[in-house]
Each structure stands twice: as structure tokens, then as C-alpha cells.
Chains A and B, each alone.
Chain A
Amino acid sequence: MNKEKLLEVEKLNIKFLTSIGDVNVSENINFHLKRGEIFCIVGESGCGKSVVALSLTRLLPENAMINGSIKFEGVDIANLEDKEFAKIRGRKIATIFEQPMSCINPVMRIGNQIAETYRANFKCSKKEAKEQALKKLKEVKLPINRYNSYPHELSGGMQQRVMIAIALACNPQLLIADEPTTSLDVTVQYQILELLQEIKEKYNMAILMITHDMAVVHDMADTIGVMYAGNMMEIAARDAFFQQPLHPYAQELLNVVKDPCNYTIPGTVPNLMESFLGCPFEPRCNKSTEICKTKKPEDIVMGKRIVRCLNVVPN
């Protein structure tokens, strides 16, 4: 299996300029993805995980200021012309979202929507595009006779499959999945996650998955990134992470998920409008020291792990 780095994000800073002040949603984020790898970003709502994912395909609103380098297949795509970038978006990097109905055209037959995506990116005849669409329908395990159905005739799980089929239409190398199963039933979620893994195996694709559900992470991830208030607090391989997370926030988060009836993280998620002098997690952290209040933590690399905490001693 080809294990070269497919995506490299370095020093990514994202800021929203609003009329009432700047909002820092991403501070110095570094991570990379290899082919065939599933990278899960996990965090609470408002921590900036979706913004990071959207920034990769330039889907952010105009008031977003993006700084840093995003290398895809060795090319810095952060500074590409829009016209050049359009050749990558959809064709090489595809995205699926939580709500399928917000992405699918409600008045267009689903088969045509898959074919349309293919035709928009590759010049081909309608017949060829239809063949490709049928192939994709089969791949996401939808019956072929659904080609002429409208989205409202399908259940939520099937709509999700249609969206995956549209994303896969051009055989992308990187699939960004933003909370793909949050609104689904457990039984359907199970099937969709299985489908994503099968597709990944088949095409040796990389998947960047955004979720707030630790159980989904446990099920899917090869590598995990824990985000909190715009900071990537810890990046670790799945097994190592679930054995012993190193960052205090990751530890607390895991404890809460394991035993929600007896464990809480005190306090609430900080407001990103305020700028932090020290570590953003400091007010809620049970291991905080004096230095945490005044000094911003930096990434500490420990083998394959990266931890952003002042109290972690590199070994």
C-alpha cells in the first residue's frame, strides 16, 4: 500500500472577521494524512473542527482569513488560483455532510445528480456518465431501479448513500466527511460507517472525518486529532490514544464518554471571541499550574504523537 503523505496541513490559522471582533477558530494547526488512512477530528461543538475541514476545500464564507500552508499531493493548494482549485475540488477532494437534503437537489432525479457531477468534471457523453452513475449506485448499495427516484422518496439513510455516491462520482483521493452519521439511527449509522470503510479499502482513499462521537472515532479512526477551542490538543494513533490519552482534555473527554452518569468536566466551552493568554483549557483543567495561565502551549512531538500541553514532559 502506498503510504505517501497525501495531505499536509501546516500552521493553519483561521480567523473570522466580524463586526463585533475577530474570532480565532483555528490556531496553528498541523496534521497530515496518508493514503488509505482515516483521520478523525473529534471535539465539542464550536471547537472549530468543521471550519478546518471546510477550509481545505475553500467552502468558508468570505470573512474568513486563512493563513498557513495546505499541501495536497505535494502542491500548495492554499495559494492556488480559484480556477485551478476548481479542478481539485470535487475531483480529488470530495465532501459529504451531515444533512444530505441540504446538498442534494430536491427536484432532480438522484441518478442524474450523480451523472451530472461526473460530466461536470470529465468531458464525456451522457451515456457514459449514466453508466458511471449506475456503477456508483451499486457501490453504495442502492438498488439500480432507484436511479430515477427523487430524493424525497428515499429514507434518510438512503439519502446519505446518494450523497456518498455523488462524492465518489469522480473517484476522489480524499474524502472529507463532516459528521456523516450524526442524524442517523444506530442501525443505519453502522451500515454507513461500514460502507465508508469498504470504499476506503477499495480505492485506497484517505478519509478526513469530523465527529463529536467518540464511539464513531473508536470504530473508524486510524489516527485521532482532538480539538478544543481552535487548538489541536493531541494527535495520536487510535490504539495508543484509547489506551492512554496524554492531554488532560482528551483524558477527561474519554472519561465522560465512558461513564456519563458519574463524571463531568466542570465549566463550559470558552467563547472564541476572547483571546487566550495561556492554554484555552486551563480554566477547566484539573492539572493546571501557574504557567498555564500565561504561556501558550506549543506542540510537543513524542514519536508519532503530538500533544499541545505545557505539563506533558517529552520522553
Chain B
Amino acid sequence: MSCLIEAVNLTKVFKDKHFSVFNKKEITAVDNVSLTVNSSESVGIVGESGCGKSMLGKMLVGLTLPTKGSVCYNGREISKLTFNEMKKLRPRLQPIFQDADSTLNPKFTVKKLLEEPFVINKIPKDEANQRIDELLNYVNLGKEFYNRYPHEISGGQRQRLGLARALSLKPDFIVADEPAASLDSSVQAQILQLLNQMKSNNGLGLVYVSHNLRIVSMMTQRVNVMYLGSFVETGDTKDVFENPIHPYTKMLIGSVLTIDGEKRKLGTKKVFGEPPDPKNRATGCAFHPRCDQCTQICKEERPELKKVGEKNRFVACHNI
């Protein structure tokens, strides 16, 4: 397998405008994160809201430039490309967002929405029309949808339309940012299956960003657990979910509700605290205020990702 996307030491820093000139404060949304994605592979990124997972996804498809670090697509660094070079590369890297509605122009019909990517990339009309028919078929939307507007179709159909648009130029790499979060379970299943099909049929690399751990565990081969901008645990999905090592991963997996087995007893599992505020990052290990195994060193020194065991398993914790 070839390495499709390689991100090295990605960092994204935002300046907080609420602070005065004399008291500049910075927010590190993504902090020194490295990640590789191969073709035909799906990689999950999980974490609580505000941990920077969406920002990381945006940087991977080149929608935002990193403050530090680089993203390479097939060995070419995308942050150093000129505007025209980037324009040529765009069709290869596609995002799918949680809220498909926000990506669809409400004044365009479904047909026009689907034609848009072809017009922008100057692809001949007959070729485009043929491809559009294929796509609609693929995402299970009939021809009767051609002349409808986004507000005339249901949420699940809109999401499928968003998928069709992302797929229209045959990308190699897709970042799916909570693609099914706002949908009902039966519609959710349709979207997930489409994504899986795409991955196996077209051999594309997929980054699945979500806070729904149950779905990530089913959809991905590798998973990265993110806490306040950096990865705290990475490894094969199966290993991580069966045997979480980092206290945060344990807590996160412990808080997932299942639909089989016994009813949980009150107070048996320890889940505490709220998702942290990136403006007031704790010193040392960012997780230490919520951690039940916290020691003195956790408060002072930041843990690095260390290899654990034989497999591709990395954990950032002092106490392992």
C-alpha cells in the first residue's frame, strides 16, 4: 500500500481577538499531530467537541493551512502549491460535512448542484451528464430529483447529494466530518454503507472524524484518539477498543452506551469532568485534571507519544 496522505507535525494556532494588544493570547487548536493515510484505508479521529478534530480534517484536505508542519499528498506538499496548482489538485481531495445543507446553494436545483464541480473544472458536458447519471444511481437518488431544490428533499437525501458531489470528480482522499451525526439511525446506515462501498470500490483513503465511537469502531481500521489538540492514543481500531491504555480512551470508551448486555448500575463506571476549554489549557498533561491516575509528573511535564507493545500502538501517558 502506498502512502496517500502524510501529515507531519501539524500545528494550528489561532490568535484570540478578545485579548488586548498587550496581552496576546493564543489558542492551539491542533498541536504537533502526525498522521498517515493509505489508499483503501479508513482512519478514525475521535474526541470530544472542541478537541480540534474537525480542524485537523480541514487541514488534511487543504481547506486551512497549518501554522506549522506539512501535509503531503503523494509526496507533494500541499501548503506550498500555488493557487493554480492547488486548483488542479482540489478534485483529488474532498471533504464531506455534517451539515450538507450548508454546502448546497439553496437557489440551485439538484441537477445544477451536481453539474457545478464539472463546470468549474471545465469537463465536457456529455461526459459530465453521464457521470451525473452514474452518481445519482450510486447514491440511490432517482431522476425525479433533478429539478428539485435542496429544501424540497429530506435530510438524508441532502446528505447523499453532498456525498455525490464529493465523489463526482473521483477523488482519492475523503475527509468525512461527522457525515451521519444529524441523521436518523436508518438513514445513517445508508450513508455509512455508501462510504464503505466507495472505499472498497474506488480504493480511496478515508478519514472519518466523529464523536460517535460505536460507528468509528465499525467503520475504521485505525483510530486516533484526540484530546485538546493532540493525539493521546493511536493504534488499530480493534486493539484500541478492546484494550484501551490511556485513561482518557478508557473513559471515552466507558461512556459509550451499548444496546446489548445488562443495564448499567449507577456509579459503576467513572466518568468525570467536562470537555476542556482550549483557552485555559492545563499545564503538563492536558488531561490531568480529569484523570484518576494523576501523579505529580503529570502536572508538570507533557507526555510524548510512546510506542507500546509490538503493534502500531502509541500512547501519550506518563503512567504506563
Q: Do A and B assemble together?
A: yes
Asked if A76 is at the interface of the complex by the 8 Å CB criterion, the answer is no
Whether the pair B219, A261 counts as a contact (CB closer than 8 A) is: yes
With A187-B251, A260-B192, A261-B193 as known contacts, state yes or no: A254 contacts B259, CB within 8 Å. yes
Task: Indicate which residue in B48, B185, B260, B274 contacts A253 across the interface (CB closer than 8 Å).
Answer: B185
Interface centre among B185, B193, B219 (most CB of A within 10 A): B185
Question: Cβ of A188 and Cβ of B259 under 8 Å apart?
Answer: no
In the complex, residue of chain A having the shortest beta-carbon distance to the beta carbon of B255: A190
Is the pair A186, B259 in contact by a Cβ cutoff of 8 Å?
no
**Inter-chain contacts of B273 with A (CB < 8 A):** 187
Q: Are A253 and B186 in contact (CB under 8 A)?
A: yes
Besides A186-B255, A257-B185, 9 other CB < 8 A contacts? A44-B187, A186-B48, A189-B255, A190-B257, A191-B272, A193-B257, A212-B184, A264-B190, A265-B189
Minimum Cβ distance to chain B for residue A66 (Å): 26
Chain A residues with Cβ below 8 Å from B212 are 186
Q: With A197-B266, A216-B257, A242-B259 known to touch, is A264 a contact of B189 (CB < 8 Å)?
A: yes
Are A215 and B257 touching (Cβ within 8 A)? yes
Could you say which residues of chain A place their CB within 8 Å of the CB of B274? Answer: 155, 157-158, 188
Residue A256 contacts which of B189, B213, B215, B266 (CB distance < 8 angstroms)?
B189
Say whether B275 contacts A188, CB under 8 Å: yes
Q: Nearest B residue to A271 by beta-carbon distance?
A: B154
Q: Write the B244-262 contact mask toward A (1 if CB under 8 angstroms, else 0).
A: 0000000110111111100
B213 x A186 contact (CB < 8 A): yes
Chain B interface residues (CB < 8 Å from chain A)? 48-49, 154-157, 184-190, 192-193, 196, 211-215, 218-219, 251-252, 254-260, 263-264, 266-267, 269, 271-275, 277
6 pairs from A and B in contact (CB 8 Å cutoff): A44-B185, A188-B48, A191-B272, A201-B266, A264-B189, A265-B186
A261 to B188, CA, bound (A): 9
CB-nearest residue of chain A to B276: A155
Q: How distant is A181 from chain B, measured CB to nearest CB, in Å? A: 10
* A: contact size bracket: 35 or more
Does A219 have its Cβ within 8 Å of any Cβ on chain B?
Answer: yes
Q: Do residues A186 and B256 form an inter-chain contact, with CB atoms below 8 A?
A: yes
How far, in whole Å, are A190 and B267 apart by their CA atoms in the complex? 11
Per the bound structure, the CA–CA distance linking A193 and B271 in Å amounts to 12
A187 to B248, CA, bound (A): 10
Please, which residues of chain B bring their CB within 8 A of the CB of A188?
Answer: 48, 274-275
Chain B CB within 10 A, most for which of A186, A262, A263, A268: A186
Chain A: residues with CB nearer than 8 A to chain B?
Answer: 44-45, 155-158, 185-191, 193-194, 197-198, 201, 212-216, 218-219, 238, 242, 252-254, 256-265, 268-269
Q: How far is the CA of A290 from the CA of B184 in the complex (A)?
A: 29
The reply to whether A262 and B193 form a contact with Cβ atoms under 8 Å apart is yes
Please determine whether A44 and B275 come into contact, CB atoms closer than 8 angstroms. no
Residues of chain A with a CB closer than 8 A to B258's CB: 215, 218
Neighbouring A residues of B187 by C-beta, 8 Å:
44, 268
Give Cα A155 to B189, complex, Å.
Answer: 31
- Once the chains bind, are A260 and B218 in contact (CB under 8 Å)? yes
When A185-B49, A187-B275, A268-B156 are in contact, do A258 and B259 touch as well, CB less than 8 Å?
Answer: yes
Q: Name the contact of B185 in the complex, choosing from A157, A238, A256 (C-beta under 8 A).
A: A256
The dominant DSSP class at the A interface is helix
Total inter-chain residue pairs, C-beta < 8 Å: 112
With A212-B184, A242-B260, A260-B218 in contact, do A190 and B271 touch (Cβ < 8 Å)?
yes
Please name the residue on chain B nearest to A155 by beta carbon: B274
Q: A261 — which chain B residues lie within 8 A by C-beta?
A: 189, 192-193, 196, 218-219
List, in ascending order, chain B residues with CB within 8 A of A262's CB: 193
- A45 near B263 (CB under 8 angstroms)? no
**Are A187 and B266 also in contact (CB < 8 A) when A256-B189, A264-B190 are?**
no
The distance in angstroms between the C-alpha atoms of A263 and B212, with both chains bound, is 18
Contacts of B211 in A (CB 8 A): 185-186
B188 / chain A contacts, CB cutoff of 8 Å: 260
Give Cα A196–Cα B306 distance, bound, in whole angstroms.
Answer: 39
Residues on A with C-beta less than 8 A from B154 are: 268-269
Q: Which A residues are in CB contact (< 8 Å) with B263?
A: 218-219, 238
Chain B minimum-CB-distance residue to A254: B259
Interchain CA distance A188-B271 in the complex, whole Å: 8
CB distance from A209 to the nearest CB of B (A): 13
Residues of A within 8 A of B189 (CB): 256, 260-261, 263-265
Chain A residues with CB under 8 A of B184: 44-45, 212, 269
| A264 with B259, Cβ < 8 A, contacts A190-B271, A256-B185 known | no
Considering the chains assembled together, what is the distance between the CA atoms of A157 and B257 in angstroms?
A: 17
- Residues of B within 8 Å of A257, CB to CB, are 185, 259
CB within 8 Å for A194 and B185 given contacts A157-B274, A219-B257: no
B255 contacts across to A, CB distance below 8 A: 186-187, 189-190
Q: Which A residue sits closest to B256, measured CB to CB?
A: A186
CB neighbours of A201 from chain B (8 A): 266
Q: Which 9 A-B pairs have the closest CB atoms?
A: A215-B257, A190-B255, A260-B189, A44-B184, A265-B186, A185-B48, A218-B259, A187-B255, A219-B257
**Cα(A253)–Cα(B196), bound, Å:** 20
The chain B residue with its CB closest to the CB of A284 is: B186
Measured between alpha carbons, how far is A197 from B189 in the docked complex, in Å?
A: 30
Closest to B218 in A: A261
Chain B residues lying within 8 Å of A155, measured Cβ to Cβ, are: 274-275, 277
Residues of B within 8 A of A156 (CB): 49
**Beta-carbon nearest neighbor of B275 in chain A:** A185
Chain B residues with Cβ below 8 Å from A253 are 185-186
- Least distance between B240 CB and chain A CB atoms (Å): 15
Which residues of the partner chain A approach B266 to less than 8 Å between Cβ atoms?
194, 197-198, 201
